A and B are shown apart, each in its own frame.
Chain A
Amino acid sequence: MIDQRFLVDTAAGLLVLSSLAMLATSRIATGIRLVAIQGLLLGAIAFLDGHEGVTMRSIALGGGTVLLKSALFPWLLSRAQHEARVQQEPDPFVSYPFSLAGGVTALGVAVWLSDRVTLTPDIDALVVAVGLFTTFAGLLLLVTRRIALGQVLGYIVLENGIATFGLAVAEQQPLLVELGVLLDVFVAVFVMGIAIVHINHEFDHIEVDQLSALRD
């Protein structure tokens, strides 16, 4: 099935570009849109990467991923953004060109690592590399962004990376486990969305590094 592999590789390549775009953009709305696109791509990989073609499992997994990550999360995040009234990241700890450079470096490291990891030949090394890279990119977003919403976006990218890696490596994870992970992520994002709204109500901003200062 060369066509299927080609499609998976294309989706993985687009995943890389969307992660790099996340690193380079300051606008929260663009970030939310990119996360939605990543959900679609991840769903496509989950749907196509089933080693026995289309099964109930790939339909459930792909459908669940798309529903959750490209419909429910963007909706939750847009609501939180609307409530908190933030348009963009004020000024991140690392400037955008530098985080983009960090992203390209991370891609290099991920590709290098995916070569080192001993894999069976039926595992797509590109998807492994993309999974690792997306995880790194998510981590980078998580530690460099100043406002809570940007960090939630980073968390979702990180989770997307782990999911991609899982899809590539563990071909026979029980469906229940994968769906359980999806549910966990959903709960996490749900809670974070609510938390952002509450933080905003309490402090009139969602800049996380200002929350560490004590005041009575």
Chain B
Amino acid sequence: MTAMPFTSFMPFLHVATALVLAPLLPSIITRVKAIFAGRRGAPLLQPYYDIAKLLRKSAVYGDTTTWLFRMGPTVGLAAVLTALLLVPFGGSPAVLAFRGDIIVFAYVLALARAATIVAALDTGSSFEGMGASRESAFSAIMEPALILGLVAVMRKAGGGSLSTFLHPHRVETAAATTTLVIGALFVVYLAENARIPVDDPATHLELTMVHEVMVLDHSGPDLAFIHYAAALKLWVLGALIVGLAVPQPAASPWAAYALALAGIAGVAAVTGIVESTMARLRMAAVPSLLFAGSALAGVALILGLR
């Protein structure tokens, strides 16, 4: 990290902003969906109310559950917080940046998922087991899209860390690769955050739920942690897309910062539009979509290797 045109507290400002503003993202998505459906929608601050309410309650644990179940939400939140530390934002590097941090990034997200899956299996409920099975299958197919996509950008832009290669002034020369990777990462974004067309966050039929069914047995502060971690995950993966897609003027760090914030809200709004205009895919068709995402990333990598 040599001299870069921003003040050194910007990375920490990003983490603080994300911690405060992240619950707004699911709120933006539901608001966009409400507008499409002709409804007024819940207040934008609703996720904050929900989290505050859940934190005041006490958690209920089933007799069959063990420490694995209690650990799940905490590990999940901690893992997503770690991922947040690795993501650069608005032209400034991440709090933690080192060679090969994309591997840590991918595995930290996988750890969050694994914690949720283990907690779901620990309940012994057959529905949660089904959700866990689907989630692990989908994530296995989705992971190549994330890794291949990031490697493609890394290869084109040089630099071994998320913070060095998500600088658009370097990526500009590789428009094709960048566009393909943005497409692949958006598929990852939809899948990781359990949005339509991969999963429907609003469904309440256990047979068709993927992510939601796994958190059915959590309550109180545990559920608050899960909601908060989900919002932060939207932020983290959104920041990745924004880092590639939104031009960041080097002149003023504040302008870059504002643009990136607008970009992250924009990604959420696009998700809302996708959710409003698309039906959820059949369960058997989801792997094809995820596979197409991986194929996009593969094409980006191959074209980037030339």
A interface residues (Cβ-Cβ under 8 A, vs B): 9-10, 13, 16-17, 20, 24, 96-97, 100-101, 103-104, 107-108, 111, 115, 125-126, 129
Determine how close the nearest CB of chain B comes to the CB of A72; give it in whole angstroms: 30
| Contact present for B302 and A20 (CB under 8 Å) | no
Determine how close the nearest CB of chain B comes to the CB of A182; give it in whole angstroms: 28
Given known pairs A10-B176, A20-B295, the reply for A126 and B302 (CB within 8 Å) is: no
Taking A24-B288, A24-B295, A115-B306 as known contacts, 19 extra A-B pairs with beta carbons closer than 8 A to each other, sorted by chain A number, are: A10-B175, A13-B303, A16-B299, A17-B299, A20-B299, A97-B287, A97-B288, A97-B291, A100-B291, A100-B292, A104-B298, A104-B299, A104-B302, A107-B298, A107-B302, A111-B302, A111-B306, A126-B306, A129-B306
CB neighbours of B306 from chain A (8 A): 111, 115, 125-126, 129
Q: Taking CB as reference atom, which chain A residue is nearest B300?
A: A13
Given known pairs A13-B176, A17-B299, the reply for A111 and B292 (CB within 8 Å) is: no
Interface membership of B4, Cβ < 8 A: no
Determine how close the nearest CB of chain B comes to the CB of A51; give it in whole angstroms: 21
Determine how close the nearest CB of chain A comes to the CB of B173; give it in whole angstroms: 11
CA distance A20 to B299 in the complex (A): 10
Given known pairs A24-B288, A96-B288, the reply for A104 and B176 (CB within 8 Å) is: no
CA distance A103 to B295 in the complex (A): 9
CB neighbours of A96 from chain B (8 A): 288
CA distance A109 to B24 in the complex (A): 46
CB neighbours of A10 from chain B (8 A): 175-176
Interface membership of B37, Cβ < 8 A: no
CB neighbours of B299 from chain A (8 A): 16-17, 20, 104, 107
| Contact present for B305 and A9 (CB under 8 Å) | no
CA distance A16 to B299 in the complex (A): 9
CB neighbours of A125 from chain B (8 A): 306
Determine how close the nearest CB of chain B comes to the CB of A89; give it in whole angstroms: 14
Q: Taking CB as reference atom, which chain B residue is nearest A9?
A: B176
CA distance A9 to B179 in the complex (A): 14
CB neighbours of B287 from chain A (8 A): 97
CB neighbours of A108 from chain B (8 A): 302
Determine how close the nearest CB of chain B comes to the CB of A191; give it in whole angstroms: 34
CB-defined A-B contacts under 8 Å, sample of 11:
A9-B176, A17-B299, A24-B292, A100-B291, A101-B295, A103-B295, A104-B298, A107-B302, A111-B302, A111-B306, A125-B306
Determine how close the nearest CB of chain B comes to the CB of A208; give it in whole angstroms: 24
Q: 4 nearest interchain CB pairs?
A: A104-B298, A97-B291, A13-B176, A108-B302
Determine how close the nearest CB of chain B comes to the CB of A168; give it in whole angstroms: 14
Max chain A C-beta neighbours (<10 A), residue from B175, B176, B292: B176
**B window 195-251: CB within 8 A of A:** none
**B window 125-162: CB within 8 A of A:** none
Determine how close the nearest CB of chain B comes to the CB of A57; give it in whole angstroms: 28
Q: Taking CB as reference atom, which chain B residue is nearest A114?
A: B306
CA distance A104 to B292 in the complex (A): 10
Q: Taking CB as reference atom, which chain A residue is nearest B177?
A: A13
Determine how close the nearest CB of chain B comes to the CB of A124; give it in whole angstroms: 11
CA distance A17 to B292 in the complex (A): 11
CB neighbours of B295 from chain A (8 A): 20, 24, 100-101, 103-104
